[in-house]
Amino acid sequence: MIVLAEAVRGSTSKAGAMKRSEFLRAGAVLGLSALLPRSARASTRVLDFVQWSDVHWGSDEDAPDAWREALTRGLAEKSPLVVFTGDHGDNGNGQGDFAERTRGFWGTARDRLADKPLVLTLGNADFRENYQTNPSNLAETQKLYQEIWGDRYYLDALGNGCQRLEGLDWISLNTQIFSYKNRYEKADEQAQTSLDWLAQRLRQAPNGCVLLLHIPPTVDLFNGLQAWRKQSLEKFWSVLMAYDGAATILGGHFHRNEVHAFKRPQGEVCVLIASSLSRKYEYSPNWRSNHWTLDANGRLLRADYDLLYPGHPDYRAHYKLERPQDFLTQVDRTAYLNDLFAHHPQIKDRWKELTEQFWIQST
């Protein structure tokens, strides 16, 4: 069960005005005190990887030069893994057809990823019909990706799949299935199939897992809305409650860097949301270089990451997520909000509202 502490201040913002019960039902809140166990295991290991999210290639808001620079700089780090957390192409306004954009995006990267494992999840913009999971919509994307990647493409007809890499199971779920914007009449059946598959997959992941979920199972702090349908959300967290292993969630979609946490008796689940390489919502394109410390069971003990802004080296920042007392004393609140909202040009005008959106999970 999640225990929700008081807000940093009494809030008048849309997100801050939500009832406590609504946050409890959400299953995940912004957690700054559940990011580490009280004592680290004696045996630890490190994992380095690069994460890119929400490039939106071909859209009116994409930043092709920023993406090419981020790809070059990310691959130069020689990390064992590169991770893509969705919305690679785009299905909105812009240049070319949806399929052209998908091929165009991967055309910039496919050959350069020949010596890397393919680790990805699909976002709502990776389908011609935004957020929809009718069979023809799913089938078109599956066919496109099989054409691009051949036998390296490992996601199934629903867009779910798993890779075992670096001692962890990297499990991808097509989260648009769970979105409240999905109008397909059999979406609940698809959700149940996906969650049954997840439960089975977790039984085969004794050494911990990373869940790649483009749309995070959290409240969108900017809009004050729960991103998943309530029934799907509750079933998802029930599956994770039944799993004894360590789990960490990586997501995107909100175009901001955020940290949330879900508390379980067997160990908290951190939800780490990456920002975007597109220019949507006027945020500066950025990407993440990750350095994790894990215990012998795959539990996240500390997450260090660098936030890198192509074209804005002065924006670069390093963040470490560990014990809350260290986090709250060593990371300046101003810097963290700049991380969250990616140098939003109006941040100074929304300072009070944004600071009131910090919710702290009690110990």
Please tell me the predicted confidence (pLDDT) of residue 342. Answer: 55
Distance CA 314, CA 317 (A): 8
**pLDDT of 22 above 80:** no
CA-angle at 358, arms to 352 and 362, nearest 5°: 145
Please tell me the predicted confidence (pLDDT) of residue 350. Answer: 59
Does residue 219 or residue 70 have the better pLDDT?
Answer: 70
**In this structure, is residue 363 part of a structural domain?**
no
Count CA atoms closer than 13 A to 129's CA, side-chain side: 14
Element (DSSP H or E) covering residue 100: helix 98-107
* Full residue range of the structural domain in which residue 33 is found: 8-358
Distance CA 330, CA 184 (A): 46
pLDDT band for 127, please (50, 70, 90 cuts). Answer: very high
Taking Cα atoms as reference points, which of 274, 299, 306, 232 lies closest to residue 86? 274
| Tally of structural domains, the chain | 1
pLDDT, average across residues 221-238: 88
**In this structure, is residue 184 part of a structural domain?**
yes
Q: How far apart are the first and last CA of the chain?
A: 12
Bridge partners, residue 290, by sequence: 49, 305
Bridge partners, residue 269, by sequence: 262
Tell me, what CATH number does 199's domain have?
3.60.21.10
Within 216-341, residue ranges assigned H as helices are 230-242, 324-330, 333-341
Which segment of 67-81, 101-115, 269-283, 287-301 scores lowest on mean pLDDT? 269-283
Q: What is the mean pLDDT of the chain?
A: 81
Percent of the chain past pLDDT 70, that is, above it, reads 76
Query: Token pair for residue 356?
Result: 């009131």
Percent of the chain past pLDDT 90, that is, above it, reads 60
**In this structure, is residue 315 part of a structural domain?**
yes
Taking Cα atoms as reference points, which of 53, 17, 3, 32 lies closest to residue 225? 17
* Residue 303 neighbours by CB distance under 10 Å: 21
pTM of this structure: 0.84
**In this structure, is residue 30 part of a structural domain?**
yes
Please tell me the predicted confidence (pLDDT) of residue 48. Answer: 97
Which segment of 31-40, 69-78, 104-113, 121-130 scores lowest on mean pLDDT? 31-40
SS3 119: strand
Which segment of 80-89, 189-198, 254-263 scores lowest on mean pLDDT? 254-263
Query: Token pair for residue 283?
Result: 């945020």
CA 194, distance to chain mean position in Å, is: 18
SS3 250: strand
**In this structure, is residue 1 part of a structural domain?**
no
Distance CA 91, CA 82 (A): 24
pLDDT, average across residues 176-184: 97
pLDDT, average across residues 76-102: 95
Distance CA 92, CA 289 (A): 28
CA-angle at 361, arms to 336 and 16, nearest 5°: 70
314-354 pLDDT per residue, tens: 888 888 777 534 444 444 555 555 566 555 555 556 555 55
Please tell me the predicted confidence (pLDDT) of residue 340. Answer: 60
**In this structure, is residue 52 part of a structural domain?**
yes
Taking Cα atoms as reference points, which of 111, 177, 98 lies closest to residue 143? 98
**In this structure, is residue 264 part of a structural domain?**
yes
**In this structure, is residue 2 part of a structural domain?**
no
